[in-house]
Amino acid sequence: MSDFNIMEDKLSNAQIAWRAAQDIEDGSYVNLGIGFPEMIAKFQPEGRDVTYHTENGVLGFGKAPAEGEEDWDLINAGKKAITLNPGASFFHHADSFSMVRGGHLDLAVLGAYQVAQNGDLANWRVGSKGVPAVGGAMDLVHGAKRVAVVTDHVTKDGGPKLVKTCTFPLTGVGCVTRIYTSLAVIDIEGGKFILREKLPGLTMEALQAVTGATLHTDGDVLDLIVPEDL
Amino acid sequence: MSDFNIMEDKLSNAQIAWRAAQDIEDGSYVNLGIGFPEMIAKFQPEGRDVTYHTENGVLGFGKAPAEGEEDWDLINAGKKAITLNPGASFFHHADSFSMVRGGHLDLAVLGAYQVAQNGDLANWRVGSKGVPAVGGAMDLVHGAKRVAVVTDHVTKDGGPKLVKTCTFPLTGVGCVTRIYTSLAVIDIEGGKFILREKLPGLTMEALQAVTGATLHTDGDVLDLIVPEDL
Amino acid sequence: MDKTISTVAEAVADIPDGAQVMIGGFGGSGAPIELIHALINRFRATGSPKNITVINNNAGNGYIGIAAMIKAGMVKKMICSFPRSSNAEAFNEKFLAGEIELELVPQGTLAERIRAAGAGIPAFYTPTSFGTELAEGKPTEEFDGKMYVRERWLKADFALIKGQQGDTVGNMTYRMAGRNFNPLMAMAAAKTIAQVSELGEPGSIDPQQVITPGIFVDAIVEVAQPQQEEVLVRTGVVY
Amino acid sequence: MDKTISTVAEAVADIPDGAQVMIGGFGGSGAPIELIHALINRFRATGSPKNITVINNNAGNGYIGIAAMIKAGMVKKMICSFPRSSNAEAFNEKFLAGEIELELVPQGTLAERIRAAGAGIPAFYTPTSFGTELAEGKPTEEFDGKMYVRERWLKADFALIKGQQGDTVGNMTYRMAGRNFNPLMAMAAAKTIAQVSELGEPGSIDPQQVITPGIFVDAIVEVAQPQQEEVLVRTGVVY
């Protein structure tokens, strides 16, 4: 056990994205936040029919176009060029956020600076310096039936990102229901972190040591197993 | 003067509608209430380009189709068949009432049971009996830049419809800006009836006698002159 | 994600007793007659669903559609704007006999409450009905010197709607003024059931011309030659 | 009721100093570059309009469009959701130097506040931003056990928007994701000025396919080969 090095043996972002993708249900409507969460679409399991929403007003978009084939009127919320799948639709921003706020999405996945054990999320700014920018994050944390986070388990300095109480400015209160980290899969229920899966080489003690609030269990803790070549 | 008979020499509904039509400005967007107000469109003066709105989701409709040529998916708020003018558009009910409430209409014209000197309108029910029905009247009295009323000056019994305070259930508070009656044209300003025009044969005293609140003047009172053959 | 249902009977099979059901249409335009009649058939055959609350602009006309639902005794309550129509005996009789409840809502407020439900807006302020008996008991507030009434969202368990084109993933268009409440109700119900005149594959509707995106539609059934409520009323059809 | 204006310069000629101006677009899609540049030209030639408040999702990219307005010193304040972009030096420099104000609004709240202005809804409740610093000082309320923040409508004196097809009475369509904020801003401004790629006669757009009805548009100008903001940014164009 002692040979597990949290900074070296943790999952890559691609591996975290792969794990998150396994939980996306067939027939679901999903919004993937800009950046890291977008990577999840690449790992959508075969045979699952998933419709992706982007808050600038497109439902049913597909892969990025080949370089040079971009149409810059056809972009996602990250301002990257996209393509359309059959059955896509366009709509204005108020309708788009009606889909978000109105509870029509099955899943939203976001990145995080910090997640608290009560489900509070901080992911939009780390302090008062620089130019603040919020975008759709504060909307996306409300309304989707499930709000999940993908994140490294710890900061670059090794400090916890899963905490008792967020110290960074909040994006939303009590909104996160599941966290996919570089070490574990954790649900938030009743104001507690409930550990569902952890990397096989990692002890409970070691995981707890890099987590800022108590990890509870509720039934078996499964091995978090992902493809190695990601 | 004494030969003027208020019940016999008053304007017909068509004549009232004709007078109201003269004030519809070129280039304006107008909603005409179901029933009597709808008649105004027939008298739209030559050379004025007016776009009619109907709250069930059509802008830019035209005349009724010939009998037998009705398409019952193409109707107005009164559920009468209509036709489209070039440049028409369809939209859903929330967008339609956005046009109303959001101040996008230049003029709405409604009927009335009573209008009070402060602009209160009662036009949706006369008591507590029977089946109540409100439709779009309570919305239409808000938002249009001008809210006008067309009405007989008095009830069938000769009682005043222009009153100090409405006794029937209100449709809207302080909303009416001009009244076209069978005897006069009256503005509402600063909580007062301001007489603008009256039938030439009618004395001020006779008009005041059938009006339930004081008629004020502000400058000349013009003769209310309409085509006789309507 | 094929949302196609092959018959109107199957499409309405899981609406339970006591459900709150939005039904699209304004007068006869955009009224999903076949879905309504399928629901009446189920009630006649099984006694369910009963005690339904219906949300529509009107309260039915003639002896078909919502009027036939009321006549059949399935409807506990109407939430509507204009129940008084030229041919609304079915509702009128029950109402005057005290056998059906009525929540009367101004038309624009009805539309906005439904839209708010779909948009996740629990309450909003409107000038409509301020100072009238329809605002009694509702919070009021002044903004920029004008008074407004606070209204709540209006949700439903089911919506029955009618479109023109549809595709198997639920995208829809509407025919002319048949649009009316249909796209709003599609957003506001937990389950939206749509009938369309033409049902195609995904991609058969230009993405720019979709009026209701498929995310708002749960079940879609083709009714190729739909009946038109107004025509049925005018020809005296009794369902 | 011909709303056609023949040049972008004439279209923006009456925007005064201090105006609150909504500008459509999300990133480069749907951004009315020619209208913005016409406004910059006027400022460079006459010193007006200055002290403009701009409402847009972003705060400009590169050295064209809104970024060029900011660089030129015309903009007093930005009301936006995401000023921090990959290429937003124009805003960043002014902001960090304290030379431009910022009102930061969550994206969905920004859209809904604009829509509310167009719809005559002075205030509404949203779950968005509850418990965050962006809700500080705003009224909150519980509905059905959940907490919400009250937000006010957001109006403008002018809107500059970009469409695909237009007709002379102001009906419009949009090209793909270029729709974004454009139809909402058209509703919310006292005067809406639109540029479209194709300007036709009334009737040239199917009434069922109109996205913005002409009632929301006051002036319309054809820009047959509009520039695309993203392409300008990527090719390093400086206006």
| pLDDT tens per residue across span C20-63 | 999 999 988 999 999 999 999 999 999 999 999 999 999 999 99
pLDDT at B1: 46
User: D208 vs C176: CB contact, 8 Å cut-off?
Assistant: yes
User: B93 vs C180: CB contact, 8 Å cut-off?
Assistant: yes
User: C83 vs B94: CB contact, 8 Å cut-off?
Assistant: no
**Structural tokens at position A123:** 């992911």
What average pLDDT does range A26-45 have in this prediction? Answer: 95
Q: Hey, where are the domains in chain A?
A: 6-223
> Which residue type sits at D123?
A
pLDDT digits (tens, 9 = 90+) for D37-96: 999 999 999 999 999 999 999 999 999 999 999 999 999 999 999 998 778 899 999 999
Q: How confident is the model at residue D115 (pLDDT cuts 50, 70, 90)?
A: very high
The beta-carbon neighbor of C132 closest among B55, B79, B138 is B138
pLDDT at C107: 98
Q: Which residues of B touch C131 (CB under 8 A)?
A: 120, 170, 172-173
Q: How confident is the model at residue B2 (pLDDT cuts 50, 70, 90)?
A: low
Largest CA distance in chain D: 57
Cβ–Cβ contacts within 10 Å for residue A165, how many? 12
Three-state DSSP class for residue B212 = strand
Strands A192-198 and D20-23: what pairing? unpaired
In chain C, positions 158-177, which contact chain A (CB-CB < 8 Å)?
167-169, 171
How far, in Å, CA of C230 to CA of B79, rounded?
Answer: 9
Q: Are chains B and C touching, using the cut-off of 8 Å on CB pairs and a minimum of 3 such pairs? A: yes
Q: Which residues of C touch A29 (CB under 8 A)?
A: 215
Mean pLDDT computed over every residue of chain C: 97
User: D174 vs C123: CB contact, 8 Å cut-off?
Assistant: no
List Cα–Cα distances, C182 to B141, B150, C187, C191, in angstroms.
Answer: 25, 33, 9, 13
CATH of span B6-223? 3.40.1080.10
Strands (DSSP E) along chain B, which ranges?
A: 29-32, 51-54, 58-61, 84-90, 107-110, 114-116, 121-122, 146-151, 162-163, 178-181, 184-189, 192-198, 215-223
Which helix (DSSP H) or strand (DSSP E) does residue B93 occupy?
Answer: helix B93-101
How far, in Å, CA of C66 to CA of C32, rounded?
Answer: 10
Instruction: Report the chain D residue with the minimal C-alpha distance to residue A99.
Output: D108
**Closest CA relative to residue C226, chosen from C56, C39, C61, C34:** C34
Q: Which residues of A touch D93 (CB under 8 A)?
A: none
B21 pLDDT more than 50: yes
User: A53 vs C169: CB contact, 8 Å cut-off?
Assistant: no
Catalytic member of A55, A67, A70, A205: A55
> Which residue type sits at C30?
G
What average pLDDT does range A39-68 have in this prediction? Answer: 96
pLDDT digits (tens, 9 = 90+) for D175-199: 999 999 999 999 999 999 999 999 9
Torsion-angle region of residue A7: left (phi > 0), alpha (psi -120 to 50) or beta? alpha
**Closest CA relative to residue A32, chosen from A19, A49, A51, A14:** A51
Are residues D108 and D129 in contact, defined by beta-carbon separation less than 8 angstroms? Answer: no
Which residues contact residue B152 at a Cβ distance below 8 angstroms, ignoring those fewer than 6 apart? B10, B13, B16, B161, B181, B182
Backbone phi and psi for residue B90, each to the nearest 5 degrees, phi listed first: -110, 150
How far, in Å, CA of B175 to CA of B141, rounded?
Answer: 6
End-to-end CA distance of chain B: give it in Å, rounded.
23
Mean pLDDT computed over every residue of chain B: 95
pLDDT at A2: 57
pLDDT at B28: 97
pLDDT digits (tens, 9 = 90+) for C142-198: 999 999 999 999 999 999 999 999 999 999 999 999 999 999 999 999 999 999 999
How far, in Å, CA of D145 to CA of C194, rounded?
Answer: 32
DSSP states of C172-197: B---GGG-TTHHHHHHHEEEEEEEEE
D109 pLDDT more than 90: yes
**Closest CA relative to residue C26, chosen from C49, C58, C54, C65:** C58
User: D169 vs B60: CB contact, 8 Å cut-off?
Assistant: yes
CA A109 to chain centre: 3
pLDDT at B13: 97
pLDDT digits (tens, 9 = 90+) for C62-87: 999 999 999 999 999 999 999 987 78
End-to-end CA distance of chain D: give it in Å, rounded.
35
What average pLDDT does range D16-27 have in this prediction? Answer: 97
pLDDT at B114: 98
Q: How confident is the model at residue A1 (pLDDT cuts 50, 70, 90)?
A: very low
Residue D39 gets which letter from DSSP?
A: H
* Between B222 and B127, the higher pLDDT residue: B222
Catalytic member of B55, B67, B70, B205: B55
The beta-carbon neighbor of B29 closest among D168, D187, D215 is D215
pLDDT at B196: 98
Instruction: Report the chain A residue with the minimal C-alpha distance to residue D231.
Output: A72
pLDDT at D225: 95
How far, in Å, CA of B1 to CA of B3, rounded?
Answer: 5
> Which residue type sits at C13?
A
pLDDT digits (tens, 9 = 90+) for D131-184: 999 999 999 999 999 999 999 999 999 999 999 999 999 999 999 999 999 999
Which helix (DSSP H) or strand (DSSP E) does residue C113 occupy?
Answer: helix C107-119
Q: How many CB pairs under 8 A join B and D?
A: 67
User: C171 vs A87: CB contact, 8 Å cut-off?
Assistant: yes
User: D187 vs B53: CB contact, 8 Å cut-off?
Assistant: no
Cβ–Cβ contacts within 10 Å for residue A23, how many? 16
User: D213 vs B29: CB contact, 8 Å cut-off?
Assistant: no
How far, in Å, CA of C41 to CA of C116, rounded?
Answer: 32
Backbone phi and psi for residue A104, each to the nearest 5 degrees, phi listed first: -90, -20
Instruction: Report the chain B residue with the minimal C-alpha distance to residue D168.
Output: B87
Residue intervals in chain C for CATH 3.40.1080.10: 8-105+155-234
**Would you list which residues of chain B are within 8 Å, Cβ to Cβ, of chain D?**
26-27, 29, 49, 51, 53, 59-60, 84-91, 94-95, 97-105, 142-143
Three-state DSSP class for residue A134 = coil
The beta-carbon neighbor of D207 closest among B51, B84, B105 is B84
In chain D, positions 64-123, which contact chain B (CB-CB < 8 Å)?
115, 117-121
A55 is catalytic: yes
Backbone phi and psi for residue B103, each to the nearest 5 degrees, phi listed first: 80, 25
How far, in Å, CA of D234 to CA of B183, rounded?
Answer: 69
pLDDT digits (tens, 9 = 90+) for C98-119: 999 999 999 999 999 999 999 9
**Structural tokens at position D13:** 């000629």
**Structural tokens at position A152:** 């490294």
- Secondary structure of B39-79 as H, E, C letters: HHHHHCCCCCCCEEEECCCEEEECCCCCCCCCCCCCECCCC
Q: Please, where are the H alpha helices in C123-211? A: 182-188
User: C133 vs B91: CB contact, 8 Å cut-off?
Assistant: no
Question: Residue B225 half-sphere exposure, CB side, CA atoms within 13 Å?
Answer: 4
Q: Are chains A and B touching, using the cut-off of 8 Å on CB pairs and a minimum of 3 such pairs? A: no
- Nearest C-alpha of chain B: how many angstroms from D184? 11
- Nearest C-alpha of chain C: how many angstroms from D144? 9
Q: How many CB pairs under 8 A join B and C?
A: 145
Q: Is the dihedral of CA C229, C234, C237, C239 positive or negative?
A: positive
| Site from A29, A89, A93, A145 to mutate, C interface, most C CB atoms within 10 angstroms | A89
| Site from C26, C138, C151, C182 to mutate, B interface, most B CB atoms within 10 angstroms | C26
List Cα–Cα distances, D115 to D156, D158, D219, in angstroms.
Answer: 12, 15, 20
pLDDT digits (tens, 9 = 90+) for C197-221: 999 999 999 999 999 999 999 999 9
Q: Please, where are the H alpha helices in chain A? A: 6-9, 13-22, 93-101, 137-140, 204-209
Mean pLDDT computed over every residue of chain A: 95
Q: How confident is the model at residue A157 (pLDDT cuts 50, 70, 90)?
A: very high
Looking at the domain D8-105+155-234, which fold is it? Glutaconate Coenzyme A-transferase (3.40.1080)
